[in-house]
Amino acid sequence: MAIARLSVQDRSTTVGPPFRRCVIHRTFLPGSEDGEDGPFVMHIQVEDLRINAHLEGPEAAPVVTLSHSLAAHLDMWRPQMAALSEHFRVLRYDVRGHGGSSMPSQIPDIATLAEDIRNLLDTLGITHTHFVGLSMGGMIGQQLAIAYPEYIESLVLADTLSSYGDEHRPMWQGRIDAASGVDGLEPLVEPTIRRWFTEPFRRANPVVMDWVRGMIRATQPQGFIGCCHALMALDLTDHLPLITAPTLVLVGRQDPTTPVAGAEVIAKAIPDARLAIIENAAHIANVEQPEVFTHHLLDFLLDRIRRDNK
């Protein structure tokens, strides 16, 4: 959904305490019967970071926040939006240096990426949310649930890891070096596609593959490089028992990037976490097996709502 191109109304609001000036620019969809409660795109300035975010779904519904993978953007969640927005107020955002979000000059760590989403929630007046993250988004979700547990109603961690050992540093450095060249992320596009999806799916879905290539190419090289540094230093495994939110761990059976073994580590370390393995899916399981992924997601989230309402 190309929300930014459909704008008919722009509004700006300045919020936040004096030490943190936050400006929200909202663009509403045309023809929305819900008025200001309908879908809109936001550009939120928090200090030196501009965050691009979309918010849609019933205003009074529980909030679900979606966080995407490295080298993607918020449109990665398109296959889940119709089902989720029927039941939830859905917040999607672009991680710094991805999509429409800016990339400040400093190199972030995972704590910075989690603080970005906390600042976004604070700016929007969202005091608690269900959080769904895939790959890098799942790593951010782990840090958020560890550092700011009061915000997290429940947690879904998809195709993700809790740490990278020193043996992975050459891999990350190779990606950083590739993205530092004059062609940006172009040398990484096809290798990334091959990791993200199984060969039969790639062959049968050329239109989807072109859409994914577009997301990768839209990633700012400095944003990709900065987030690679953050993920290369990821080391959260020992802190996972601190997570108190109900947690669902999802992983594609054929995921070569964040394999089933890594998901099992997370599920065993987080108290009472559930693990579900999605067959015939590699790394971006929400796109390769959207119906199965969405079924697991809705089943878990709606069950949490029912339990909370008892």
Segments in the chain forming alpha helices (H) = 78-87, 110-123, 136-147, 169-179, 186-196, 199-204, 206-218, 221-232, 260-269, 285-288, 290-309
Res 30 pLDDT > 60 = no
287-289-293 Cα angle (round to 5)? 90
Can you give the pLDDT at residue 156?
Answer: 99
Distance, CA of 194 to CA of 196 (rounded, Å): 6
Which domains does the chain carry?
3-309 (3.40.50.1820)
- The confidence band for 41, taking pLDDT boundaries of 50, 70 and 90, is confident
**pLDDT value for 307:** 86
Cβ proximity of 119 and 126 under 8 Å: no
| pLDDT surpasses 50 at 18 | no
Spatial CB neighbours of 246, under 8 Å, sequence gap ≥ 6: 154, 155, 272, 304
Is the pLDDT at 27 greater than 70? The verdict is: no
pLDDT value for 20: 46
Cβ within 8 Å of residue 301, ≥6 positions away: 64, 87, 88, 130, 154, 156
Checking if the pLDDT of 193 tops 70, the result is yes
Q: Specify the pLDDT at position 25.
A: 63
Contact 246, 304 (CB under 8 A): yes
Sequence-separated (6 or more) residues with CB below 8 Å from residue 90: 54, 55, 56, 57, 63, 64, 66, 81, 84
pLDDT tens per residue, range 196-250: 999 999 999 999 999 999 999 999 999 999 999 999 999 999 999 999 999 999 9
- Using CA atoms, how far residue 255 sits from 195, 209, 272, in Å, is 8, 17, 23
Give the pLDDT band of residue 293 (cuts 50, 70, 90): very high
Mean of the per-residue pLDDT values for the chain?
90
Percent of the chain whose pLDDT exceeds 70: 87
Residue keyed to tokens 């109304």: 9
Looking at the DSSP bridge assignments, the partners of residue 228 are: none
What torsion, rounded to 10 degrees, do the Cα atoms 175, 179, 183, 187 define?
A: 20
